[in-house]
Structure 1
Amino acid sequence: MSFEILRDRLPEINQAMLETFAMIGVAIPLAVLLGTPLGIWLWSHAPAGLNPTPRSHAVVSAVVNMVRSFPFLILLIAIIPFTRLIVGTSVGTAAVIVPLTINAIPYFARLVEQNITQLGTGAVEASRAMGATRWQIIGNVLLVDARPAIIGSITITTVSFISYSAMSGLVGGGGIGDLAIRYGYYRYETETMVVACVLMVILVTVVQYGGTRAARWTDKRVSA
């Protein structure tokens, strides 16, 4: 391995790491912030939910499925006019954050819906019997019981979208994945590609480990 090449590429590697952190650090919190209430709504308004509205649920569910099913690469290109409207440009890291977020919101919403559904109806029925309101059931019962699973879903979403960010090079978004493609594939710098891949593996491992620890810490069923 040529350390001279890696030394020369160190500024690009550092910049790529910062770009990856920027993409994930904005897209994932926005996905959690917007996807959580959307997932709760999907569960609550389902035919067997707290406040069933089958028609509106069918429409929203169809839209969620449509956006979620779009391959990220196609979505990245398809919404370029919208991206330009939101961030004022169609290239760069900021331009990648928009489709990443749009793709992550329904992805995470479905996970939240599943997390709550898997709790079953026992806690809901018990809360209803004690006179709890719908918002009390959601905020004080369901979200508390589903918290470890939701943290696990955040971890899964983060890991998945770290890999999606590798496609950001198509619009000049940068990031570790783009670095590996530009220097490892197009310029045949195997050393740079290996380092980029190792950094991606380390990043995913750290996220997975942190998420697993956080989920275990918040799970009241697990003894200390």
Structure 2
Amino acid sequence: MFETIMGLSRYNNLMWSGFLETMYMVGMALLFAIIGGIPLGVMTTITRPNHILPNKFINFILDGIINIGRSIPFIILMVAVIPLTRLIVGTSIGTTAAIVPLSLAAIPFMGRITDNAILEIDQGVIESAQSMGASPFQLVFKVLLPESLPAIILGLTLTAISLVSYSAMAGAVGGGGLGDIAIRYGYQRFQLAIMLETIVILVVVVQLIQYFGNKIAGLFDHRS
């Protein structure tokens, strides 16, 4: 047992490097999910029938984008967008290249979460703001987003956890990170201890993301 632990110490730098690569992929993809997914979810909601800017055609298009994006398995998406990945970053291998499919998977996922979070807002709150003359812009930024913020933060937490899982999958096809270490050093070299170590690190990361996500969401929940 002691020899196994001492043997693992040789890979401390490798594990730290893989951890940083995983956090880089997850962090960048989560940023793009916020930039693209939240506006996508807001537009999908407000263009629904009987909402503040009903538009059946636009809603159909946006809802379709979300549904199509969420229906494609990540491993297939990662392979399918290789030409786009090469066009954007110049290569289809490595941590930076993995951000492209990770972001494309996260944006519709975050879009649906935002859509559902806003739909949970009491319609009476929206009608009250409208009766006071609030414009659609004011409704979005002063009513819809503030009221749905705790649910959106929890949705971001769930998205981040999903991205950790996706990033490990990306490592299997040259994406780098802890998934790549688990495959190359753990599976292909039959070093079970390394594979288990990467699993433990990923579990701890997920637990920390969930813990801090819950805490932050609680800070913005006026019902608590």
Q: CA deviation at 1:102?
A: 0.7
Map 1:52-91 to 2 at 5 A: 52-91=54-93
Q: CA deviation at 1:9?
A: 1.5
Structure 2, unmatched stretches of 5+, are none
After superposition, give the CA deviation of every residue in 1:191-212 in whole Å (9 maximum; x if it has no partner): 1111111100110011000000
Map 1:33-44 to 2 at 5 A: 33-44=35-46
Map 1:123-138 to 2 at 5 A: 123-138=125-140
* CA–CA distance in structure 2, aligned partners of residues 78 and 46 of structure 1: 31
The answer to whether the 8 A contact 1:96-1:171 is kept is: no
Mean Cα deviation higher: 153-162 or 63-72: 63-72
Amino acid of the residue matched to residue 189 of structure 1? Answer: Q
The answer to whether the 8 A contact 2:150-2:217 is kept is: yes
* CA–CA distance in structure 1, aligned partners of residues 73 and 220 of structure 2: 33
Amino acid of the residue matched to residue 69 of structure 1? Answer: S
Q: Which residue of 1 aligns with 2:189?
A: 187
* CA–CA distance in structure 1, aligned partners of residues 70 and 7 of structure 2: 40
* CA–CA distance in structure 2, aligned partners of residues 37 and 110 of structure 1: 11
* CA–CA distance in structure 1, aligned partners of residues 30 and 215 of structure 2: 19
TM-score, length basis structure 2:
0.96
Q: Which residue of 1 aligns with 2:30?
A: 28
Amino acid of the residue matched to residue 53 of structure 2? Answer: N
Query: Which aligned segments of 4 or more residues in structure 1 are displaced greater than 3 angstroms?
Result: none
Q: CA deviation at 1:181?
A: 2.3
Question: What is the RMSD of the two structures over their aligned residues, measured on CA atoms?
Answer: 1.1
Q: CA deviation at 1:185?
A: 1.8
Q: Which residue of 2 aligns with 1:147?
A: 149
Structure 1, unmatched stretches of 5+, are none
* CA–CA distance in structure 2, aligned partners of residues 85 and 144 of structure 1: 37
Q: CA deviation at 1:8?
A: 1.8
Q: Which residue of 1 aligns with 2:201?
A: 199
The answer to whether the 8 A contact 1:43-1:117 is kept is: yes
After superposition, give the CA deviation of every residue in 1:167-223 in whole Å (9 maximum; x if it has no partner): 11243111112222222222121111111111001100110000000000111111x
Count of aligned positions: 222
Q: Which residue of 1 aligns with 2:96?
A: 94
After superposition, give the CA deviation of every residue in 1:29-67 in whole Å (9 maximum; x if it has no partner): 110111111100000111232111112211221122112
Aligned residues with identical type, % of pairs: 41
